[in-house]
Structure 1
Amino acid sequence: MTAGEKAPLEPDVRPRGELKRRLATSNTLWIGLVLLVLVAVFGALRPDAVLTTFTLQTTLVETSVLLVLSVGMTFVIITAGIDLSVGSVLVFSGVTAAMAMNAVSGGDATGAGWGTVLLGLVVALASGAAWGLLNGLLIARAGIPPLIVTLGSFGAALGAGQLLSDGSNVSGVPDVLTDGLGTGTWFGVPNLVLLAAAVTAVGALLLSTTRFGRHTHAIGSNAEAVRRAGVSVSGHLVKVYLLAGVLAGLAGFMALAYFRVASITGHDTDNLNAIAGVVLGGTSLFGGVGSVVGTVLGVFIPAVLRKGFVIVGVNVYWQPIAVAVVLVAAVWFDQSRRRARNRR
């Protein structure tokens, strides 16, 4: 070959091989396939009831509140933290919002307007933010483990809600809220679903395209390295738990709109369901790995199992067993992948 000649071009198979390897090890891909298999199985058993617009719509509505909780939980778990208090914060926020709206409207559900609803929303978000800020300060500034702090908040927020409501549900929710957000639709799509989708989209963009998201992943991977790079780890953790609290407050407001009452009971396992959905979606309990898109898929696995079991006539008590099996398998897969990566 002379000096002026160019070497023949050879096909580079590395990008294609790299793409295949990433797809094969993608948690999101595998969780998506599991979800599709579940839908296909239930659809084959009862195509007349499963593969319908009504079933899809009701499943989406029933999952909306949990999805909003799980978006905040995704950020927390990526930092290698945990938040056991979100279910209780949801209850507390719903109670405070309902009581604030009742105080303004005098308990007149039919006469209250959107100004009353806006006040309730602000109260719900502020209530959630207060608990989230408290959690963040105790974890990041006082150095108390997240498990202990949020376990304490779990009981304290629920107890505070029961004290405010005298241990009973708070009714009198304005009709404009329940009709507009709780059961209202926009071009046939439930407004609760649209709100949950908007929150999810913002959370996904925040986690994947911003400095806040990059710092969240980095802290979960190696907090000390992030601290040496000049990033305030404690300040960032406060913001993450604050975000989780705000979203728990919003979820409480959504539940209030849907159920027409601030329920003291009925949310006992929301925190565990949110954690399960996030982990099923591929977010590592060890921190540093996770995505909001994966969380969406993970949240819908228990929802599809619950709906499918009811439709095909399987005893509903099998549903938590099935979710537990899938959850343990997801954690085992995550640990196996981590061990394989560490051996390289």
Structure 2
Amino acid sequence: MSGRTRVTRLAADQRVGLIVLILVLVAAIGTAKPMFFSTQFIIAPMLTSIAIFTVVGLAQMMVLSVGQMNLAVGGMAAAGAMVAGIAYQALGVPLIVGLVIGLAASGLIGAVCGLLVAKAGVNSFVVTLAMSFALLGLVPSTYAWVSPGAAITVDTPGLAELGRATTADLCIGDVCGPEGIPLILFIALAAMAVIWFLFARMRVGRETLLTGSSEKAALLSSIPVARRIVTVHTLSGVLAGLAGFMLGASTGSFTPGIGQEFMLQSFLGPILGGTLLAGGYVSVIGTFLGIALTVVIRQGLLLFGVGIEGLNILLGSILLIALSFDRVRDAVGKRSALGAARRPEPVIEEEAR
């Protein structure tokens, strides 16, 4: 590959554009508001938000891989966190055990949605919207039943450290890690590594992407399409539950409000990162960068005194632009493919001997 071709490909890579935009915004905001570089008050909380929202974005990306969506991602996050909190409070289980129980609960909810979509043939929009409303009533009712204060606060060993400690708290002798890097960020990086390996190196990941590209072609290739759809919805539920657990650990309590702001972020990250709404292509790194961009914008606007209403307007506008760009890109791709299919093959005549 020539150097010119390599440069052209880099310039066309959406992730490169996101990196450049993030760096420009960080430099601009930091120059105007030097407080932006405060490790304790800005950087660490911002990286915590990036970690949580990245996992939320991965949850949505899983179902987008087959051209579907999960509108119950916030409710699944709240339910998974709630079950984990109840396990800690009522059963006194260790940190990892409670986490596994919570992820199993949210994964089960996702599996139910996947079964309804794959077996009953109901649209994912309808199924997950209905599930979202069901969880919107079930989760607060359960909190009110198990806890008088409608919140579960636990002192499980390791939970507070996992949610609020940074690498500066990890020391070997007199040498400690850098400030401003929360430990919770490594959970998000681990989730990214697992999902990347799933799609890049495992057969189930390749079959999932083929299902998203063309369900008919997947069926003709003997791919168990229904099973793949159930799998992605289950994993979406697991990742949503993980994000809910991370938010609860970072705040120190599990509440019904967990997951309320997850919906917009779950779409912003993958779409800005290059994941196709129609399915067939995902980007784990792009999802992380898309989330990082929105969090940087969010933090910058807060430093400049922009209220939550203005922030939501801007983020919603960004999502609309990204969705429009995705549809245009899909239409252009289909038109190019159709033009190539209609173009007649050149006829090469043999020379008369």
Task: Please say whether Structure 1 and Structure 2 have the same fold, judged by a TM-score greater than 0.5.
Answer: yes
Letter in 2 for 1:162: P
Q: Which among 317, 322, 343 is matched to residue 325 of structure 1?
A: 317
Does residue 77 (structure 1) correspond to residue 77 (structure 2)? The answer is no
- Specify the alignment match of 1:50 in structure 2: 36
- Specify the alignment match of 2:161 in structure 1: 180
Moved more, 227-236 or 115-124: 115-124
State, as a whole percentage, how many aligned pairs show the same letter: 30
Q: Which among 106, 119, 122 is matched to residue 144 of structure 1?
A: 122
Letter in 2 for 1:34: L
- Specify the alignment match of 2:260 in structure 1: 268
Task: Say which SS state the counterpart of residue 133 (structure 2) adopts.
Answer: helix
Decide whether the 8 Å contact of 2:66 with 2:280 is kept in 1: yes
CA distance in 1, matches of 2:110, 2:31: 44
* Alignment CA distance shift 1:311-1:203 (3 Å): same
Does residue 131 (structure 1) correspond to residue 109 (structure 2)? The answer is yes
Could you list the per-position Cα deviations for residues 20-69 of structure 1 after superposition, in whole angstroms to 9, with x for gaps in the alignment? 443343222223333223223212211x2123433222211122222112
Q: Which among 214, 217, 220 is matched to residue 222 of structure 1?
A: 214
CA distance in 1, matches of 2:267, 2:311: 16
- Specify the alignment match of 1:28 in structure 2: 15
Letter in 2 for 1:53: T
Q: Which among 35, 39, 47 is matched to residue 60 of structure 1?
A: 47
Decide whether the 8 Å contact of 2:74 with 2:258 is kept in 1: no
1:284-295 equivalences in 2 (<5 Å): 284-295=276-287
Letter in 1 for 2:162: L
CA RMSD in angstroms comes to 2.0
* Alignment CA distance shift 1:76-1:343 (3 Å): same
Does residue 232 (structure 1) correspond to residue 224 (structure 2)? The answer is yes
Decide whether the 8 Å contact of 1:309 with 1:316 is kept in 2: no
Letter in 2 for 1:136: G
* Unaligned runs of at least 5 residues, structure 2: 168-176, 337-353
The Cα of 1:157 is off from its aligned counterpart by: 2.1
Q: Which among 269, 272, 281 is matched to residue 277 of structure 1?
A: 269
- Specify the alignment match of 1:205 in structure 2: 197
Decide whether the 8 Å contact of 1:64 with 1:196 is kept in 2: yes
Letter in 1 for 2:161: G
Q: Which among 273, 278, 296 is matched to residue 288 of structure 2?
A: 296
* Unaligned runs of at least 5 residues, structure 1: 1-13, 106-114
Decide whether the 8 Å contact of 1:177 with 1:257 is kept in 2: no
Letter in 1 for 2:184: L
The number of aligned residues is 321
- Specify the alignment match of 1:3 in structure 2: none
CA distance in 2, matches of 1:242, 1:45: 44
The Cα of 1:149 is off from its aligned counterpart by: 0.6
- Specify the alignment match of 1:160 in structure 2: 138
The Cα of 1:242 is off from its aligned counterpart by: 0.6
Decide whether the 8 Å contact of 1:173 with 1:257 is kept in 2: no
TM-score, normalised with respect to structure 1: 0.86
Letter in 1 for 2:195: G
The Cα of 1:163 is off from its aligned counterpart by: 2.3
* Alignment CA distance shift 1:131-1:192 (3 Å): same
1:106-121 equivalences in 2 (<5 Å): 115-121=93-99
Letter in 2 for 1:195: I
TM-score, normalised with respect to structure 2: 0.84
CA distance in 2, matches of 1:28, 1:17: 19
